Chain A
C-alpha cells in the first residue's frame, strides 16, 4: 500500500504532465487551433492539478489554480473570448502554477503574494466575463457543500435504476413474443400493441423468423413477435400494466434505456477499447440471463455487436509503468558486463584451433547476436525523448522576449527523438545558453526587424533528429546573424588572432567559441556574464559531441550540435603505445596517418611538430607522456592521430600501432582510483585485459605543463592497471 509521501510524489509526477498539457494546449490555442477540445483539455488539466492539490493539502496551489480554472471555464463556456492578450495572461498563469507546483514539491515556503500580479490579471479577466458574475460570486466562496440545491440522496434499496430525464420522457426497449397459450386465452396480440401505442411513440418491428410456409400455417398459433422502442412519459408500472393479463403467456422483455441513445442499449464510449482481449469476457457475461430481461435477444446482441465493431478500428494504447531509475541503471550495468564477457568468449573461440568446434562457434555467434539485441533494448530503456529538455524552452523564450521587449516565436520539432538519459541531463545547460543568446543577441528589436523588411516577430527553430548514429540538434534563428567585423576586431584586440590573419567568414564566426570571448557592448544580465560560447562548446565536447555554427549576416544563424546516442557505450579506437593498449574515442579522432619521417620535426621530449598539408601541427608523444618505452619517436613507422585540444586547436598524438575499432563499455574508475588527468575511464577489451580510455583533449594541456607531474600521474595509473590485471 502506498504511503502518503509516495502518493504525493505520484501527484507531482502527474502535475508535470498536466502542466505540460496546459502549456502546449495554450500555445496551440494561441497559434490558432482554438478548438473546443483544446480548451477543454487545458481546463481539465488545471482542474486536475487543483483537485489533487486539495487532497494533498497544498492550499496556495489550490487557491491559485481555482482562479486560473475559473477563467478557463469562462473561455470554454464561450463567455470570454480567447484573444491573444487573454492567452498571454493564461500562459503567464501556467508559469506561475508551474512554479507553485515546484515549490510545493520541494517543500519551499511560498511567499504570500507570490504570483499576485498574475492573479490580479486573471481577476480582471473574470470581471470581463459577461455571463459569469453571479456564478463567480457563488464560486469564490468555498462551500463545503452546496446550499440551495434540492438534492436528496437516493437510497440504493429504494432505487429502481430508472432516472427521469429532463423532459420526463423515458424510452423502453420492448420485446413481445406471444406463445400459443396467449391466443388460447382469447387474448389478441394486436390489441396489446395498440394499448402500447396509446402510451406514446411506438416504434416496433415484427420478427417473422418463425413464420412457416403458408401451407404449414396453423391458425391458432402465434408465429410473430415484435421488438422495438416506446418513448413515453409513462412510468414502468404503466407499461407493465399493458401486459398484465398476458405476462405468463408470452416472452416479454421491457427495459428502460438511457435517455441519450434510444437505439442502442449501452452508451458505447467513442474511445477505442484499451484491452481488446477483454471483449469476449464482456459479451460472455452479457449472455447470462439477467432477471426478466429479453431472452438472449436484442440487449445482448447489441452489447456484443458493439465491441467487435470497435475492435478493428482500435489500437491498444501504449501502457507505461513507473520504475525507479536505479533499477534500470543496475540492469544497464549488468548488460554492460555481459557485453564484455561475451566479447571475451568470442575471443577465446576465435583463438581455438581451426575446426575445434564449429558448433561452439555457431552458438557463440548466436550469443553475440542476442547480447547485442539485449544491449540495444536495455539502452533504449534509458532513452528519453529530447522533448523533456525541449519543453523548458518555450517558457524561457517567453520570459526572455518579455524582458528584452522583443517578439519571438519558438518552433520545435523532433521532440520525440530519443537519446540516452546521460546525454539529456547534460544537454540542458548548453541548450539554454544557446537559446538565450538567440533571443538576446540574435533576434533584433521589433522596430529594427520591420526596418529590415522582416516580420516583427522573430522565429527560433529548435529541431532534433537521428542522423548517422548520432543525434543532431539544430537551433536556428532568423535574426541578425553574427557581426563578423566586430568579432574579428575583438579577436584581434584580445590577441586571439594575428593582426594580419586572413580568415574565411566561417572561421571568423567560429571565433566566438574561443574562451573569454564576448562582444556584448554591455554585459546584459541575461547571457553576457562570463558564460560564453566556449563553455557551451566544452560542455558539448565533454559529452563526446561536436558543435558547429553557420551565420548569414542579416538573415540569421544556425548552430548544430552533433551528440552521441549514449555515454555508456562508445565507439573506440584501440591503440598501442609501446606494449600497452589504450582506447581513444572515435569521435575525438579527426584523422589518422602514418607520416613520413621527413614530415616530423624536432620531436624533443614530449613535443614535436608535423608538417601536414602546409600547416604545422604540434605533436604529443604518448610514449613519453605516459612514460612508456615507446619506439615511435624514433621509428619510421609511427602512427599519428590528429585530434583537437580543449581550445579547438589541432594536435597529433604519436603512437605505435592502431589495433582496430570496437564498441567499448565505459567503466568509470573515479570511485576506485580518483581522478587521473588524461585518463577518462577504463574498459575491458575482448581479450579480458583492462584498457584505459584516454581523455584526448586534455593530453595536449598535460604535455605542455610540467612533464614530471604527468609522468608520475601516468605511472600511478599504469601501476593501477597492473594491479587490476
Chain B
C-alpha cells in the first residue's frame, strides 16, 4: 500500500493552467512530490535523472505527443518501468487502444475530479494510504 505522500509524480502538459490544476488535484489526494514538464523533451530529461513513481501526461502536445512520450519512456533504460497514465479528451477511443499497445498503465479523460484521479492511480499503484 503505497503512501501518497511518498509518491513522486511527473505531470506533463503544455498548458500551464491545466498543469497547475492537475497539480492541485494531486495535492488534494495527498501527493506532495510533484515534478512538472511542459513537453516530451523536458519530461524525458526529468525521467532520466529523477526517480519517479508515476508519470501523468496529456496526449495533446506539439512536437512530441503523449503517445510518443510513452514510447520514449518505455524504451528508456532508466525510465522504462515507470507507470504511465495518459490524459485524453472525450471520444479518443483509438488513442486508448494505441496507448495500450505501447504499454500504458491507465488512461484518464479530461476533465476529471480528484476522486476519479485517485481511482485511476489506485488501479495502477494499489490503494493509497
Binding site for B on A (CB under 8 A): 1-2, 4, 7-8, 10-11, 14, 41, 44, 47-48, 50-52, 54-56, 66, 135, 138-139, 142-146, 149, 151, 153-157, 159-166, 255, 257-261, 265-267, 269-271, 273-275, 278, 281-282, 285-286, 290, 293, 299-300, 303
Task: Report the minimum CB–CB distance from A77 to chain B (whole Å).
Answer: 10
- CB <8 Å contact, A159 and B78: no
- CB <8 Å contact, A282 and B83: no
- CB <8 Å contact, B89 and A154: no
- CB <8 Å contact, A151 and B100: yes
Enumerate chain B residues within 8 angstroms of A139, measured Cβ to Cβ.
90-91
Mark interface residues in B42-73 (1 if CB within 8 Å of A CB, else 0).
10110011000110001011111000100110
Q: Specify which of A151, A160, A290 is in contact with B107 (CB 8 Å cutoff).
A: A151
- Count of interface residues, chain B, beta-carbon cutoff 8 Å: 57
- CB <8 Å contact, B72 and A269: yes
Q: Specify which of B14, B62, B109, B125 is in contact with A41 (CB 8 Å cutoff).
A: B62
Q: How many angstroms from the CA of A465 to the CA of B17 in the assembled complex?
A: 35
- CB <8 Å contact, B101 and A151: no
- CB <8 Å contact, A151 and B48: no
Q: How many angstroms from the CA of A477 to the CA of B48 in the assembled complex?
A: 56
- CB <8 Å contact, A157 and B126: yes
Enumerate chain B residues within 8 angstroms of A1, measured Cβ to Cβ.
24
- CB <8 Å contact, B62 and A44: yes
Task: Report the minimum CB–CB distance from A697 to chain B (whole Å).
Answer: 46
Enumerate chain A residues within 8 angstroms of B101, measured Cβ to Cβ.
163-166
- CB <8 Å contact, A154 and B124: yes
Q: How many angstroms from the CA of A281 to the CA of B16 in the assembled complex?
A: 25
Q: Specify which of B17, B41, B107, B109 is in contact with A10 (CB 8 Å cutoff).
A: B17
Q: Specify which of A2, A154, A275, A290 is in contact with B105 (CB 8 Å cutoff).
A: A154
Binding site for A on B (CB under 8 A): 14-18, 20-21, 24, 39-42, 44-45, 48-49, 53-54, 58, 60-64, 68, 71-72, 74-78, 80-81, 83, 89-91, 93, 96-97, 100-107, 109-111, 120, 123-126
Write the chain B residue with the least CB distance to A40.
B62
- CB <8 Å contact, B96 and A151: yes
- CB <8 Å contact, B78 and A7: no
Enumerate chain B residues within 8 angstroms of A156, measured Cβ to Cβ.
53-54, 83, 105, 124-126
Task: Report the minimum CB–CB distance from B121 to chain A (whole Å).
Answer: 10
Task: Report the minimum CB–CB distance from A204 to chain B (whole Å).
Answer: 20
Q: A154-B103, A258-B74, A269-B72 are in contact. List 8 more A-B contacts (CB 8 A).
A: A7-B20, A14-B16, A51-B111, A55-B111, A154-B104, A155-B105, A156-B54, A165-B102
Q: How many angstroms from the CA of A707 to the CA of B43 in the assembled complex?
A: 73
Enumerate chain A residues within 8 angstroms of B104, measured Cβ to Cβ.
154
Given contacts A7-B17, A41-B62, A153-B106, contact A255 B71 (CB under 8 A): no
Enumerate chain B residues within 8 angstroms of A144, measured Cβ to Cβ.
109
Q: How many angstroms from the CA of A285 to the CA of B44 in the assembled complex?
A: 12
Q: How many angstroms from the CA of A273 to the CA of B42 in the assembled complex?
A: 8
Could you list 14 A-B pairs, sorted by A, with CB under 8 Å? Answer: A7-B21, A48-B15, A50-B89, A135-B91, A145-B109, A153-B105, A154-B103, A161-B74, A258-B74, A261-B75, A271-B63, A285-B49, A286-B77, A303-B77
- CB <8 Å contact, B41 and A274: yes
Task: Report the minimum CB–CB distance from B118 to chain A (whole Å).
Answer: 13
- CB <8 Å contact, B75 and A55: no
Given contacts A10-B20, A66-B90, contact A271 B64 (CB under 8 A): yes
Q: Specify which of B17, B48, B91, B126 is in contact with A282 (CB 8 Å cutoff).
A: B48
Shortest beta-carbon contacts, A-B, top 10:
A163-B103, A258-B75, A139-B91, A161-B81, A11-B17, A153-B123, A267-B72, A54-B111, A161-B80, A156-B83
Enumerate chain B residues within 8 angstroms of A7, measured Cβ to Cβ.
17, 20-21, 24
Enumerate chain A residues within 8 angstroms of B48, measured Cβ to Cβ.
282, 285-286, 303
- CB <8 Å contact, B60 and A159: no
Write the chain B residue with the least CB distance to A48.
B15
Q: How many angstroms from the CA of A261 to the CA of B107 in the assembled complex?
A: 24
Q: Specify which of A47, A163, A293 is in contact with B102 (CB 8 Å cutoff).
A: A163
Write the chain A residue with the least CB distance to B70.
A163
Enumerate chain B residues within 8 angstroms of A260, measured Cβ to Cβ.
71, 75
Enumerate chain B residues within 8 angstroms of A44, measured Cβ to Cβ.
60-62
Task: Report the minimum CB–CB distance from B47 to chain A (whole Å).
Answer: 10
Q: How many angstroms from the CA of A54 to the CA of B96 in the assembled complex?
A: 20
Enumerate chain A residues within 8 angstroms of B90, measured Cβ to Cβ.
66, 139, 142-143
Q: Specify which of B39, B58, B77, B105 is in contact with A255 (CB 8 Å cutoff).
A: B77
Q: How many angstroms from the CA of A47 to the CA of B90 in the assembled complex?
A: 10
Enumerate chain B residues within 8 angstroms of A41, measured Cβ to Cβ.
62
- CB <8 Å contact, A155 and B126: yes
Given contacts A44-B60, A164-B101, contact A52 B75 (CB under 8 A): no
- CB <8 Å contact, A161 and B42: no
